[in-house]
């Protein structure tokens, strides 16, 4: 059972880095630091969008827009942090 929780923790780590990468990519894209017409850059952007948008969409329904600033990645990171702490502090000791 502990291996299952450790695997879930690892998956949450991967999702954490994908959310961070998506946020950084969106900033670079918004400020024209990266070439938006480059096919490789477009594929990376599309992949990150497809991976993160299903997590962001439900949060955006409830979270108001703050002058064009998207706070949904921060909320997702807080949820991931909570789940990781819950796994480490509650679930693993219960079965360990």
Residue 65: the pLDDT is: 78
Is 52 exposed, middle or buried (CB count within 10 Å of its CB: 0-12, 13-18, 19+)?
Answer: buried
Residue 85: the pLDDT is: 98
Residue 96: the pLDDT is: 73
- DSSP 8-class letter at 34: S
Sequence ranges of the domains in the chain: 2-95
Residue 7: the pLDDT is: 97
pLDDT in tens, the chain (96 residues): 999 999 999 999 999 999 999 999 999 998 999 988 899 999 999 999 999 999 999 999 998 878 888 899 999 999 999 999 999 999 999 987
């Amino acid at each position: 059972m502990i291996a299952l929780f450790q695997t879930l923790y690892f998956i949450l780590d991967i999702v954490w880095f994908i959310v961070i990468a998506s946020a950084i990519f969106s900033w670079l894209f918004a400020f024209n630091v990266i070439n938006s017409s480059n096919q490789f850059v477009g594929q990376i952007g599309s992949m990150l969008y497809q991976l993160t948008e299903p997590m962001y969409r439900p949060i955006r329904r409830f979270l108001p827009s703050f002058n064009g600033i998207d706070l949904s990645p921060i909320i997702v990171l807080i949820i991931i942090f909570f789940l990781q702490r819950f796994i480490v502090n509650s679930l693993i000791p219960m079965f360990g």
